[in-house]
Every structure is written in C-alpha cells, then in structure tokens.
Amino acid sequence: MLHSIKTANYRNLDSGILQFSERANFISGRNGQGKTNLLEAIYWLLSLRSKRGRIQDCIRKGESAFHIDANLTFGDLKHRVSLGIEGKSKKLLVDDVPPKRKRDYLENVLVVDFFPEDMLILVMEPGLRRRFIDIACVQHFLPHEDVLRRFKRILIQRNHLLKIPGGPDQGVLESYDRPFAESAAQILATRLHLLRKFGKLTDEIFRDGIGEKYEASLHYYASLDGVPEISSAEDRIEAEKFEEMFLDALTRNRGKDIESGRSSIGPHRDDWGMTLDGKPVRQFASRGEVRSAMFALHLSRFHVLAEKRGIKPVVLIDDVMSELDIKRRMRVLELLPPGQIFLTACDPPPELDKIGSGEMRHFVMEAGVARQVD
C-alpha cells in the first residue's frame, strides 16, 4: 500500500507530497502534463528499475540525480522508503536504514503495470515479448534475476569469442558450453512454466471475463528443437531436461556459430505469442481483439503474481482504457484485482465506479503538478 509519495528532480514532476487512496487513484489531464511520469516514479519505487528509457532520461534537465520518498505499508507495518538515483548508483533506505540486500525489500513489495507501449507486445518485435516474460519471471521468483544476468554475461563472452578473426580457440569456446546450457535451460524452463500459468487464466478472462468469442492460447517458439508446447508441458518443468539438449545443440551448431559470429540458439533467440482459435494475433486479430487479448494477458499476470507472492500488488494502468469500447472497459474494470490501483487518462470515464468498493481519489495533473479534486 502506497500512502504518499514525494519526488525531487524526477522528470517534470513537482516536489509536493501526494496522499493516495488505499483503493483507487485516478489521474487525469492533457497529454504531456506528467501523468505517466508519476506512474513511472511509483514503478521505480516498487521495482527499483526504470520502466522506459535510460536512467539519465528520468532526471530533470540540469540535475545530476533524482529522489523519491514515500510512506508504504508492507509486512503489516508502515515504513518510510527513500530511493535516490545518481548515475548508475541506487541508494535505497527503509526507515533510514539501507537493507542488507535490495531483494529483502523487493520480497515485500509488488507492482504490476500496463502502459501504452505494452499494448504492442503481441504484435511487435520478439525483444518486447522476451523482456515482458523475463520481468514477470523475476517478479514470480526474485532469484531468477541472477540467472538472467549470468546468461547475459556468458552470451556476451561467447559471442565475443565467435567473432575472433580466424576463429576462436576450440577448447576455450567449448568451456562455455556447460555454463551456457545451464543458464539457458533455467530461463527456458521458467518461461514455459509461467506462460503455462498465464495461458490458462488468459483464455478464461478473454472469453468469460471480457466476453470475446475465440479461444486464446499462448505458444512458445524455441530456437532449441524438442521443446514441448506450453499447453502440453508438465505443471513444473525441470530445467535439467533441457540442459543436455542445449549441450547437444551447441556442439551441432558450433561451425555455424563460428561462421556467423553469434550464438544461434538460446533464450535470446526465442519468441512466444498468442493465437485466437489457432490464428496468430499479430496477423489475424482486429484492433479491438488485440487490445482485449493484451488486457486478458495483463490481468492474468496480475492474478498469477499476486497468488504466488501472497501480496496484493499495486496496479498501474497508464492511459490505455480509452483503447477499449465502453462494453470492454466496463468488463475490464470489474476484473481488476483487489488492492491499490492507479489509472490515468485524459478524461475520467464514467465507468470508474466499477473498480469496486472503497475510496476513489481523483487528481488533475497540469505541468507536473497533481491537484486533488472532489
């Protein structure tokens, strides 16, 4: 629960203190006034990462750092949390004391978000989909971030070897096979496991919740041969099943990788997507169906993560409700999970009371200043 927030030098936001409702907070205002910036600041506070752009883009022009101070309730207690970002340095304080590990703090907070750029995940380049599922995997199981970092480091080092003029030393190149396969197998297994969970709930929400008529299914497109379909995969997929498959494939593709100067298989080459009655969303779905599909996917993510973590997430929905017609908007609002919600739009829709019981607090944003209105 986010009770209040105060920012300093974060984009165009004013430095005043904002007090929030425990249930629903709606921020309206013209484009470019700071609505998205406020949600991004909340995202930073609860995830310790940037939602978009480089860190320096978040800092007001002419300044060297930004700070976010807030009052939060987690672990049944109210806490003062301060986050300062300068260069690549992050300084986090909880009740004026730095936690031993940032993960100790992240284990107690959870934010799930839906921004306009997320509407494109199902129809744009694979990198967007890989980022979406990898962040969700980390939120589902925080130590997974270590696996992602390890694989990225190994991939960079292996690709550097592959680009050596005249070819790499074979012994050195082979020494990367086992650590590459171990990390790649863990990432693949975790993605499949979570997408399987998302897939079940996404279809229910898409048809029974939002009211669309097609069957929504998620599919994983692996660069590694022999990976099972998401729908037929075991409930808990063990990474060891893929490790030997990766080792085999690395051996078979070694010549090809040396010739191209890059690693041809691995989670960095994989993709996933959604079909409606067996037809790919990115090719056959209408604009309205794409939006319904994305809302169904995001709503399933909200519920799956909340159930796994045992935390009611803070939900951020930035200016995407207007993409739906009134019937779909009403259904989506009724499906939002319990907990604290922040929504933005240029104008408040009349369906806001569908969020549920509890106080609704309305702010109008202008030139970075959020003013509460009745």
Query: pLDDT truncated to tens, each residue of the chain (374 aa)?
Result: 999 999 999 999 999 999 999 988 999 999 999 999 999 999 999 999 998 878 888 999 889 999 999 999 998 899 999 999 988 889 999 999 999 999 999 999 999 999 888 888 999 999 999 999 999 999 999 999 999 999 999 999 999 999 999 889 999 999 999 999 999 999 999 999 999 999 989 999 999 888 889 999 999 999 999 998 886 545 556 788 899 999 999 999 999 999 999 999 999 999 999 999 999 998 898 888 888 899 899 999 999 999 999 988 999 999 877 777 788 878 887 888 788 999 998 887 776 666 655 578 999 999 999 999 87
What residues does CATH 3.40.50.300 cover in the chain?
A: 1-110+312-374
Instruction: Report helix, strand or coil for 85.
Output: strand
What residues does CATH 1.20.1050.90 cover in the chain?
A: 123-310
Query: What is the dotted CATH code of the domain comprising 1-110+312-374?
Result: 3.40.50.300
Residues 106/121, Cβ–Cβ less than 8 Å: no
What pLDDT was estimated at residue 5? Answer: 97
User: Which CATH superfamily hosts domain 123-310?
Assistant: RecF/RecN/SMC, N-terminal domain (1.20.1050.90)
* C-alpha dihedral (158, 164, 167, 169), degrees to nearest 10: -60
Residues 337/215, Cβ–Cβ less than 8 Å: no
Report the distance separating Cα 139 and Cα 28, nearest Å.
29
